[in-house]
């Protein structure tokens, strides 16, 4: 479904993706791991066709995704419906006067029938647990509620590829549990980013790990990665801090994982 080949991406001041290559098959659930600033969000923006690689190429269903390709109206409409991105910060996605309008927005853009839109909005609002907020302005909701509104606004489009940037960052333990179950049952291709190692294994079997140097340093079984101390250290996903056992104080590497 996706093929990324030798992708490089640079902002004005720095290169934040270097020689990134991988493929994702339809139906796979992939987790992208890496420390703050390693390039996870940038990579999802490339996959969503919001920014374009300065070197290398990105193919979606065999089509090369370029700025020019997305100017083709018919292709743009298809791509925007099939590939959706849940932004790391929900505030950057919310701009409609009510939650209802927020969820309906994408379908209205696609020119869907009013009645169909109403059915879909209510169905997803109910499924995601935000039905009671439908008439409220999104800005007044809590961080977790906003994240759920954003999620519903993507799911109404019935996309094929979902790109989820730190989807649980604002969720409490109960909502996180719900989200993990939801993701597990979701019959779609999903690429999720996180730096929460404990949750990562719940979000997919395959992990792609970005280093601080913005290259892929691991692509494979996530559980295998989490057991590989040297790789964890290379990715800087473990840290050292002091802690106490009774009167004894010492330091060693920590992941704060259940098996730590
Ligand atoms: N619009 C931008 N202009 C310039 N630099 C940017 C821009 N967006 C991100 N960066 C830089 O690119 C690097 C990678 O950012 P990115 O947001 O992709 O990292 P990330 O892995 O998602 O981090 P986090 O875990 O904090 O979300 C960072 O050093 C960041 O400062
Ligand atoms: Mg990010």
Closest alpha carbon to 76 in 48, 46, 99, 42: 48
Average pLDDT over residues 149-163: 95
Residue 243 has a pLDDT of 65
Q: What is the pLDDT of residues 71-130, one digit of tens each?
A: 999 999 999 999 999 998 888 888 999 999 999 999 999 889 999 999 999 999 999 999
Average pLDDT over residues 133-157: 93
Ligand 1 pocket, CB under 6 A: 11, 13, 16, 34, 36-42, 88, 195
Percent of the chain with pLDDT over 70: 92
Distance CA 166, CA 67 (A): 26
The angle formed by the CA atoms of residues 201, 202 and 207, to the nearest 5 degrees, is 35
Residue 67 has a pLDDT of 95
Confirm if 43 and 210 have CB atoms less than 8 A apart: yes
The domains of the chain, with CATH numbers, are: 2-254 (3.40.50.300)
Sort strands 15-24 and 63-64 into parallel, antiparallel or unpaired: unpaired
Residue having the nearest C-alpha atom to atom 30 of ligand 1: 37
């Amino acid at each position: 479904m996706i093929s990324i080949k030798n992708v490089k991406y640079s902002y004005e001041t720095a290169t934040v993706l270097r020689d990134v290559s991988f493929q994702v098959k339809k139906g796979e659930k992939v987790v992208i791991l890496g420390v703050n600033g390693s390039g996870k969000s940038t990579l999802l923006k490339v996959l969503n066709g919001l920014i374009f690689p300065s070197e290398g190429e990105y193919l979606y269903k065999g089509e090369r995704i370029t700025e020019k390709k997305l100017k083709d109206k018919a292709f743009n409409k298809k791509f925007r419906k099939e590939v959706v991105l849940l932004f790391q910060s929900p505030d950057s996605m919310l701009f409609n006067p009510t939650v209802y309008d927020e969820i309906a927005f994408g379908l209205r853009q696609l020119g869907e029938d009013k009645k169909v839109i109403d059915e879909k909005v209510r169905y997803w609002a109910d499924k995601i647990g935000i039905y009671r907020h439908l008439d409220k302005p999104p800005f007044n909701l809590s961080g977790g509620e906003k994240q759920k509104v954003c999620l519903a606004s993507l799911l109404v489009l019935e996309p094929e590829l979902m790109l989820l940037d730190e989807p649980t960052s604002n969720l409490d333990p109960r909502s996180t549990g719900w989200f993990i179950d939801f993701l597990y049952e979701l019959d779609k291709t999903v690429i999720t980013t996180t730096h929460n190692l404990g949750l990562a294994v719940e979000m997919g079997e395959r992990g792609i790990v970005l280093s601080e140097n913005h290259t892929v340093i691991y692509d494979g079984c996530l559980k295998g990665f989490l057991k590989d101390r040297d790789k964890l250290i290379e990715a800087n996903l473990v840290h050292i801090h002091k802690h106490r056992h009774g009167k004894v104080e010492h330091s060693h590497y920590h992941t704060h994982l259940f098996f730590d």
